[in-house]
C-alpha cells in the first residue's frame, strides 16, 4: 500500500489527498479481510483478524489539507497553523516550548506521523509525541522525544513531566538515523498500557515500561526551540496484543520474582530494581493465606525467605505482614515485607510496570476468583499476564476474566503443545530451558498457532543468544538488568547501521587537501560518490572533482545515509593546482607570481593562453575557473 500511495501522490494534484488516503485505506482493508475461499484459514487467531480491522480504524487521521486546525485540536502554547498541507508548530519565544493536544483516551494505540525540522536553535532542540496528558495540556505529561541531533546518546527519550512540573527522563538512546533540519522522517510510537516502543524510519529504536498513564489522558505534539512540520498523522487503537516477538525485536524481559539475583525475591525492593532495570514484566508468585488473602510468596512455607516459620496457608494475612522478608538476603534489606497482591498491584499502578503472575500451588475456584477481583478492582487487567503449572487454574481464570492473557508453565513438554495451547486459549506456552531443548521445533509450531514461547529460568548470556536464534519470544530470568543490557547490544548489532565518517557532512574542501572516503557500517556497505561506485577508504584526488557540491551515498542492508561536501576555491587550492600542473617552469613562475599579487583576473587570462605552456586542457580549465572564482 505504501507503493500505491506514492504512485497516487505522483499522478494526482495534492489537494485531494484525503480522498486518496481513503481509497488506499479501503484497498488495504479489503486485502486484510479474511477470504472466504478454500485457501482461507478458518482457524486463524481471532486476535490477528481484530488487529487487521483495528489498523484501518484510526481515531485520528489527519493529512492537513485544510486551512485551519482540525476540529477538537487545542493549541495550548506556541504557534500552530496549517500551511501547504502540513501542520506547523513553532516554539513560544518565552518558554521555547509549544504543545497542541488532540485525540481521545486510549489504553493501547499507535501514534505516527511524518515530521520535519524546519529550523532549530541547536542540535539539542526536540520534537515530541505526547503519549498521555490532559486535554488542557496541564501536567503531568508522558512524551516520546526526538532531538534535532537525533544520533546523540539522548537523541531519543521517553520522559515524564511530573505533577510538580519537573522532568523525569526514564529512557534514552541514539536514533538509527540523523534527522537534522530539512529531512523528513517517519516516526511512530506504540503504547500498550505503561509500555511503549519508539520506531524511527520503521526501525524499533527504544523501549520503556515507564509511561505514566491517566484515565483521561489524550495525545499531543510538542516542539522545543524549533519549528517542526507534520503530515499524515494517525492515532490507531491496537487490537489485543500478540506476545510473539516481531522480526528483529529483542527478547522480552521477565524479571523472575523481581530482580531476585540482586534483591530479596518477591518484595517491593525486587520489584523496584527490576523496574529500574527496564524489565518489561515482573514475575511474582501468589498464594492465599489462612484467611484467603492473596500474598506474594514462592515457597509453601515462609521459612526460607522470612524470619518466620510455617506454611503460608496456616498463617493469617496479619501474621504474614509482621514477617521480615529482607534480612535473610542482606542486612540492607531488613524490614522488607511479604506484599499482598493488592499492595503489589498498587505499587505497579503507581510506579510503573507489568505483572506476570504465577498462580502458585493448589487453589480453589474461589481463591482464583479472589485474585481476579483484586486485579479488576484496581483496573490492572491490561497489565497482568497470568501463568500457572495447573491447567485448571487457567481454565478458571479464563472463565472469570477472559480478557487476561494466559501462559502455561511446563517442566517437560506436552506431547502436543499446540493442542493444549488451543484447548486452554493460551497467549504463551512457557517451558523450562531444559524442556524446550528436547524439541526446539515446538517453537515454530506454537508460533504458527499464534502462541508465544517464553522460557524459564535462564541467567546465562550464551543461552540467551541461543534461544534468541531459536526464535523464542521472552526469557524469565533472575538477572533482568543484564538481559536488558544484552537486548540493547542486540538491537545495535541487529539493525543495519551506516554512517559517513569522512569527509564530514557539509565540509568545505580545497584542491590542496587530502580526501579519503570513509564509511562506518555494521554490515557490508555499497558506496557511491556522485552516483559512481567507490571503495570504502578510497583516496580521491580533489583536482579531479568539479567545483561545487558532491554527494556520498552509502547503504548497508536497509539502512542508508547521504552526506555531501563542497569543493571550494582558495588561494592554497589554486597554488596546488599550479604547482602540480606540469606546466613549464616559466609558466609556473608567472602564475605563482600573479597569485602572490592576488591578480586573479590576469592569472585567469594568462592561464587560458598558449603562453602558459605545458598545461593539459583539463588542468588549464581548472586553474582558469579557480582564479575567476577568487577574482
Residue 576 is a catalytic residue: no
C-alpha to C-alpha distances, 71 to 103, 185, 351, 538, nearest whole angstrom: 10, 26, 35, 56
- CA angle 282/286/290 to nearest 5° reads 155
Which of 114, 256, 447, 576 is catalytic? The answer is 256
For residues 497 and 500, give the distance between their C-alpha atoms in angstroms, rounded to a whole number: 11
For residues 418 and 423, give the distance between their C-alpha atoms in angstroms, rounded to a whole number: 9
Write out the three cell numbers for 391: 491447567
For residues 401 and 377, give the distance between their C-alpha atoms in angstroms, rounded to a whole number: 12
For residues 392 and 402, give the distance between their C-alpha atoms in angstroms, rounded to a whole number: 14
For residues 252 and 243, give the distance between their C-alpha atoms in angstroms, rounded to a whole number: 9
* DSSP calls for 391-457: HHHHHHHHHH-TTS-EEEEESS--S-HHHHHHHHT-SEEEEBHHHHHT-TTHHHHHHHTT-EEEEB-
**Strand pairing of 281-288 and 252-256?**
parallel
Which of 114, 298, 393, 576 is catalytic? The answer is 298
CA gyration radius, the chain = 31
DSSP state of 309: -
Contact 510, 567 (CB under 8 A): yes
Length of the chain: 631
Write out the three cell numbers for 586: 616559466
Burial letters for 486-508: b for 16+ Cβ neighbours within 10 Å, e otherwise? Answer: bbeebbeebbbbbbbeebeeeee
Strand partners, 234: 61, 112
In which residue are the cell numbers 579557480 written? 626
**Alpha helix stretches (DSSP H) within 285-386:** 317-321, 341-351, 365-377
Contact 393, 406 (CB under 8 A): no
Report the 3 state secondary structure along 516-584: ECEEEECCCCEEEECCEECCCCCEECHHHCCCEEEEEEEEECCEEEEEEEEECCCHHHHHHHHHCCCCC
Residue 298 is a catalytic residue: yes
Catalytic residues: 256, 298
Amino acid at each position: 500500500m505504501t507503493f500505491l500511495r506514492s504512485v497516487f501522490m505522483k499522478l494526482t494534484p495534492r489537494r485531494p489527498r484525503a480522498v486518496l488516503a481513503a481509497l488506499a485505506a479501503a484497498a488495504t482493508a479489503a486485502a486484510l479481510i479474511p477470504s472466504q475461499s478454500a485457501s482461507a484459514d478458518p482457524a486463524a487467531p481471532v486476535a490477528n483478524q481484530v488487529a487487521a480491522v483495528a489498523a484501518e480504524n484510526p481515531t485520528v487521521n489527519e493529512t492537513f489539507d485544510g486551512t485551519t486546525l482540525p476540529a477538537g485540536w487545542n493549541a495550548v502554547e506556541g504557534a500552530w497553523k496549517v500551511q501547504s498541507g502540513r501542520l506547523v508548530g513553532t516554539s513560544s519565544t518565552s518558554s521555547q516550548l509549544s504543545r497542541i493536544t488532540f485525540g481521545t483516551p486510549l489504553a493501547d494505540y499507535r501514534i505516527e506521523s511524518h515530521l520535519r525540522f524546519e529550523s532549530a536553535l541547536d542540535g539539542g532542540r526536540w520534537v515530541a509525541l505526547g503519549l498521555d496528558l490532559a486535554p488542557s495540556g496541564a501536567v503531568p505529561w508522558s512524551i516520546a522525544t526526538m532531538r534535532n541531533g537525533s544520533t546523540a546518546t539522548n537523541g531519543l527519550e521517553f520522559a515524564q513531566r511530573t505533577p510538580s512540573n519537573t522532568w523525569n527522563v526514564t529512557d534514552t538512546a541514539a536514533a538509527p538515523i540523523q534527522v537534522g533540519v530539512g529531512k523528513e522522517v517517519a516516526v511512530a510510537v506504540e503504547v500498550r498500557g505503561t509500555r511503549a516502543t519508539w520506531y524511527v524510519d520503521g526501525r524499533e529504536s527504544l523501549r520503556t515500561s515507564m509511561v505514566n498513564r491517566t484515565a483521561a489522558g489524550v495525545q499531543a505534539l510538542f516542539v522545543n526551540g524549533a519549528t517542526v512540520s507534520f503530515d499524515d498523522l494517525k492515532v490507531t487503537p491496537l487490537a489485543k496484543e500478540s506476545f510473539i516477538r516481531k522480526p528483529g525485536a529483542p527478547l522480552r524481559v521477565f524479571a523472575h520474582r523481581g530482580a531476585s539475583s540482586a534483591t530479596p525475591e518477591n518484595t517491593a525492593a525486587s520489584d523496584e530494581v527490576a523496574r529500574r532495570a527496564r524489565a518489561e514484566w515482573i514475575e511474582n508468585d501468589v498464594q492465599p493465606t489462612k484467611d484467603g488473602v492473596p500474598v506474594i510468596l514462592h515457597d509453601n512455607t515462609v521459612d526460607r525467605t522470612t524470619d518466620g516459620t510455617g506454611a503460608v496457608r496456616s498463617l493469617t494475612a496479619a501474621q504474614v505482614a509482621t514477617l521480615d522478608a529482607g534480612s535473610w538476603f542482606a542486612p540492607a534489606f531488613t524490614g522488607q515485607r511479604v506484599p499482598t497482591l493488592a499492595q503489589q498491584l498498587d505499587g505497579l499502578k503507581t510506579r510503573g510496570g507489568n505483572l506476570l503472575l504465577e498462580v502458585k500451588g493448589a487453589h480453589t475456584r474461589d481463591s482464583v476468583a479472589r485474585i481476579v477481583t483484586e486485579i479488576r478492582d484496581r483496573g490492572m487487567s491490561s497489565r497482568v499476564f497470568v501463568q500457572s503449572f495447573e491447567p485448571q487454574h487457567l481454565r478458571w481464570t479464563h472463565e472469570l476474566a477472559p480478557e487476561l492473557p494466559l501462559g502455561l508453565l511446563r517442566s517437560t513438554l506436552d506431547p502436543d503443545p499446540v493442542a493444549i495451547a488451543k484447548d486452554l486459549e493460551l497467549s504463551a506456552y512457557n517451558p523450562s530451558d531444559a524442556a524446550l531443548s528436547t524439541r526446539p521445533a515446538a517453537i515454530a509450531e506454537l508460533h504458527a498457532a499464534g502462541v508465544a514461547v517464553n522460557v524459564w529460568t535462564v541467567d546465562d548470556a550464551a543461552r540467551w543468544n541461543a534461544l534468541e536464534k531459536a526464535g523464542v519470544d521472552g526469557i524469565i530470568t533472575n538477572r533482568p538488568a543484564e538481559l536488558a543490557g544484552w537486548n540493547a547490544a542486540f538491537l545495535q548489532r541487529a539493525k543495519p547501521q551506516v554512517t559517513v565518517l569522512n569527509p564530514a557532512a557539509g565540509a568545505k574542501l580545497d584542491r590542496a587537501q587530502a580526501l579519503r572516503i570513509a564509511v562506518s557500517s555494521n554490515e557490508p556497505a555499497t558506496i557511491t560518490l556522485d552516483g559512481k561506485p567507490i571503495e570504502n577508504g578510497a583516496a580521491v584526488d580533489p583536482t579531479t572533482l568539479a567545483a561545487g557540491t558532491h554527494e556520498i551515498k552509502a547503504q548497508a542492508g536497509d539502512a542508508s545515509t547521504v552526506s555531501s561536501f563542497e569543493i571550494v576555491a582558495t588561494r592554497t587550492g589554486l597554488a596546488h593546482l599550479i604547482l602540480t600542473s606540469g606546466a613549464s617552469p616559466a609558466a609556473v613562475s608567472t602564475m605563482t607570481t600573479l597569485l602572490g599579487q592576488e591578480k586573479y583576473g590576469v592569472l585567469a587570462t594568462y592561464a587560458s593562453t598558449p603562453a602558459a605552456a605545458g598545461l593539459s586542457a583539463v588542468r588549464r580549465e581548472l586553474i582558469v575557473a579557480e582564479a575567476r572564482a577568487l577574482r
